[in-house]
């Protein structure tokens, strides 16, 4: 049953060293405030799961939180490289980063399987690609499978079952029911696939007004709800904020240089009053 707490309490309660952590949000509603809180609390040895590591995991990888990354597209959208991610893969800085690399369709289906209580999902895909080969860290999560009805050769992908999933939503009510709308991504599946969950929200309201295309997570499917106004920034929350495209562009220079990144962490994550 959802418990409404502060962001610091939610992260301390749900995210532990060595956990497998999924922080989802497909360009929209990325839980950035929660990501900074995980860094601030000094979590280590995490297996980070996310379709698009994006700036949020670039920050967490650079800060030394991650041991392993499970992902499908690691770029800065519309800008270029994720330099902290690349530095970890290419130069093991600040430490080595194990990779398990999929496609978007594979990752999405792995969450669906997790949410469905199934050990795997089936899709047409991966055949002939290097992702299904020995290199990409997918030996335990991609396998060929024969359809028992048609004999077709298909691909099975192992369910994702994170220890904890963290998402950002527009609203929760006082009972902890959660609602988000706009581009809803894979967050519903990621929450339902996980053992624990944290939902940061723009605001707590008396009544959730029905919205077209909205996803509602009933309070009993959610662990912690934490108010975090603007908590998606530099991503956005439709109806509350717009994507800060300038920040994504500025991140290129900040993240390219280890010292500049260290100064950014000191000022915006560890600094007094940083949130």
Q: Could you say whether residue 184 binds other proteins (CB under 8 A)? A: yes
Residue with Cβ nearer other proteins (16 or 211): 211
Shorter beta-carbon distance to other proteins: residue 12 or 215:
215
CB-based contact 226:6 (threshold 8 Å): yes
125 binding other proteins? (CB under 8 A): yes
State in angstroms the smallest separation of the CB of 79 from other proteins: 5
Q: For residue 122, list its beta bridge partners.
A: 156
Q: How far is the CB of 130 from other proteins (least distance, A)?
A: 4
188 lies in the site for other proteins, by CB under 8 A: yes
Show the tokens assigned to 94.
Answer: 């600040």
Question: Considering beta carbons, is residue 15 or 88 the nearer one to other proteins?
Answer: 88
Residue closer to other proteins by CB (options 180, 224) is 180
* Strand ranges (E), the chain: 3-4, 20-23, 46-49, 66-71, 75-76, 80-81, 98-101, 120-123, 142-146, 153-158, 164-173, 178-180, 196-205, 215-217, 224-227
Task: Check: CB of residue 251 under 8 Å from CB of residue 58.
Answer: yes
246: contact with other proteins by CB under 8 A:
yes
Nearer to other proteins, 36 or 188 (CB): 188
Please report how close the Cβ of residue 183 comes to other proteins at its closest, in angstroms. Answer: 5
* HEC sequence for 217-262: ECHHHCCEEEECCCCCCCCCCCCCCCCCHHHHHHHHHHHHCHHHHH
Smallest separation, CB 212 to other proteins (Å): 9
Among 6, 145, 153, 267, binds other proteins (CB under 8 A): 153
Enter the tokens of residue 118. 């199934």
Taking CB under 8 A as the rule, does residue 183 contact other proteins?
yes
**Residue 84: phi, psi to the nearest 5?**
-70, -40
- Answer positive or negative: Cα dihedral of 250, 262, 101, 10: negative
For other proteins, the binding residue among 135, 195, 266, 274 (CB under 8 A) is 135
Tokens for 124? 């047409």
Residues near other proteins (CB under 8 A), total? 61
Q: Taking CB under 8 A as the criterion, which residues in 51-110 touch other proteins?
A: 51-52, 71-75, 77-82, 85-86, 89-90, 101-105, 108-109
In the bound state with other proteins, the residue whose beta carbon lies nearer, of 208 and 215, is: 215
Cβ pair 29, 182 in contact under 8 A: yes
Contacting residues for 70 by C-beta, under 8 A, at least 6 apart:
47, 48, 49, 50, 100, 102, 107, 160
Q: Which residues bind other proteins (CB under 8 A)?
A: 26-28, 51-52, 71-75, 77-82, 85-86, 89-90, 101-105, 108-109, 111-112, 123-131, 135-136, 152-154, 182-186, 188-189, 213, 215, 236, 238, 242-243, 245-246, 248-249, 252
């Amino acid at each position: 049953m959802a418990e409404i707490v502060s962001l610091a309490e939610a992260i301390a309660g749900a995210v532990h060293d060595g956990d497998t952590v999924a922080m989802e949000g497909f360009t929209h509603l990325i839980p950035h405030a929660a990501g900074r809180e995980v860094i601030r609390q000094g979590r280590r040895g995490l297996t980070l799961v996310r379709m698009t590591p994006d700036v949020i995991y670039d920050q967490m990888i650079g800060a030394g939180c991650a041991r392993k990354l499970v992902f499908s597209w690691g770029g800065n959208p519309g800008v270029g490289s994720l330099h902290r991610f690349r530095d970890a893969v290419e130069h093991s800085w600040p430490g080595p980063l194990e990779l398990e690399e999929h496609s978007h369709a594979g990752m999405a289906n792995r969450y669906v399987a997790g949410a469905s209580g199934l050990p795997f999902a089936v899709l047409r895909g991966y055949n002939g690609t290097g992702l299904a080969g020995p290199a990409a860290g997918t030996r335990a999560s991609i396998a060929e499978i024969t359809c028992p009805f048609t004999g077709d050769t298909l691909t099975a992908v192992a369910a994702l079952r994170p220890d904890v999933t963290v998402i950002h939503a527009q609203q929760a009510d006082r009972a902890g029911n959660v609602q988000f709308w706009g581009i809803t991504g894979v967050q519903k599946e990621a929450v339902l696939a996980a053992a624990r969950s944290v939902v940061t929200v723009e605001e707590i309201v008396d009544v959730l007004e029905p919205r077209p295309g909205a996803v509602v997570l009933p309070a009993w499917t959610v662990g912690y709800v934490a108010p975090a106004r603007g908590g998606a920034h530099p991503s956005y929350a439709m109806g509350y904020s717009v994507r800060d495209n300038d920040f994504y562009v500025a991140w290129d220079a900040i993240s390219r240089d280890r010292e500049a990144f260290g100064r950014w962490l000191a000022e915006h994550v560890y600094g007094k009053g940083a949130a």
